[in-house]
Structure 1
């Protein structure tokens, strides 16, 4: 593997790793940065095109066995790396890759399968919440995730870390017009939509019977789904609670919904 000792923090080859804590320039550049050996290894094993690794000199030997031979590795001290990236570089490893392309809408649909689940996350703005949702969606068999301009970046460093790299496995579509995409999925492929709603008129989850092709819609952490998207819901579902609290975290709710529809989906499959 080509190893390049970094002699200056102004080296343009490591610019992509600068100030990762306070900026997300990787999104504009079509790249993504992963941290921790587990997520970086999943990035390497994915179909994404790797760009480089940033490794501390103290940790280089630990990682050499599984670093691809043709992948550029930039090495510097832990203190210099911490100064570069903007946080404690104790893990000693970052990886950079090109982002996967946003799939076309029809690429999310399998014509041979009558049971499919897509998860829409408009307005989920916290990268940690989104990372958990991506991980849960992958664990419970979702076929893809729909994000829009109001959604946190699923390929940001924080979201990738929390999802443990699940965003590299789950097809994630960036929708320029989420409502239009949902409308097309309903009209052309027979999907039905279910909104996670805090409303006494919504159907309790214990009474829900999922349709075969389903879009589960999860809204903003505070305000929920917009009126426009709520109007697109064929079903309105809710999680009954004691009344001692009025809501739960969106990622916690996602886990409850996704497990329920996953179990029902298994029974629907031929």
Structure 2
């Protein structure tokens, strides 16, 4: 494996990688910078295209565990330059530029679960939601206006590899929801004063769960488009749940129903 040496922070490639720390730069180049051995392994296993691997002077030992990247350019950077590019306070010494796959036309399966997100703003929440969605067998996560960039470094870390296996799509939810209905989807939203509890509803095979902003919830404009509104009973004194917890409760109630229907085959 040939390792190219970069010594200056003014190198053109370093300038490119630094831009990937911004949403504008990620959209310009169509790629993201991921950090750490785990995420590199996840991206490689998921089949994402790896444009380049970056290592600090102390991180070259990690390369021996990645036999599959022999044909990928590897660049060694001074520790100080490497630290300028990554988002963590204690860098692991290895990072990579990977291409973001383009979203293809959505063709739902016979039994499809979707997650629709209305202006989720906290990166940690979005990452946790993505992990939960993948675990629950969600086909795609659709990101409405105002939702944090899913390729924000904090989202990528919080998603713990689920980012590379989930299909993500940026949409205008006001237009996307009616189209989903035409495809046979039932839109389910949460409402604290809804008459039905979330576990008292039988969810159709094609269900899209609509979740809203951490502060205001689902906008009323979108909530009016929902076919079902359910509440999660809370006998305690807390007024609300974190949106990622809400996602988990609803999605795994659907998993439970499928499990029972199919006698343990989910």
Secondary structure of the 1:244 match is coil
The answer as to whether partners of 2:20 and 2:32 remain within 8 angstroms in 1 is: no
Q: Tell me how far 1:267 sits from its aligned partner.
A: 3.6
Indicate how the Cα distance of structure 1 residues 87 and 132 shifts in structure 2: closer, same or farther if over 3 A, else same: closer
Instruction: Tell me how many residue pairs correspond in the alignment.
Output: 261
CA distance in 2, matches of 1:146, 1:209: 23
Q: Tell me how far 1:83 sits from its aligned partner.
A: 3.0
Equivalent residue for 2:219? 226
Of the candidates 197, 205, 208, which is equivalent to residue 212 of structure 1?
Answer: 205
CA distance in 2, matches of 1:212, 1:69: 44
The one-character-per-residue Cα deviations of 1:174-215 (angstroms, maximum 9, x if unpaired) are 11x22222211111x211000022x22342123121111100
Q: Tell me how far 1:44 sits from its aligned partner.
A: 1.7
The answer as to whether partners of 1:145 and 1:171 remain within 8 angstroms in 2 is: yes
Q: Tell me how far 1:98 sits from its aligned partner.
A: 1.1
Equivalent residue for 1:190? 184
Equivalent residue for 1:11? 11
CA distance in 2, matches of 1:13, 1:192: 47
CA distance in 1, matches of 2:193, 2:253: 20
Equivalent residue for 1:34? 34
Equivalent residue for 2:140? 144
Q: Does 1:131 align with 2:127?
A: yes
Equivalent residue for 1:2? 2
The answer as to whether partners of 1:33 and 1:156 remain within 8 angstroms in 2 is: no
Equivalent residue for 1:78? 79
Q: Does 1:244 align with 2:237?
A: yes
CA distance in 2, matches of 1:139, 1:16: 34
Provide TM-score, normalisation by structure 1.
0.89
Which structure 2 segments of 5+ residues have no match?
none
Q: CA RMSD in A?
A: 1.9
Secondary structure of the 1:32 match is strand
The answer as to whether partners of 2:211 and 2:243 remain within 8 angstroms in 1 is: yes
The answer as to whether partners of 1:124 and 1:221 remain within 8 angstroms in 2 is: yes
CA distance in 2, matches of 1:66, 1:193: 43
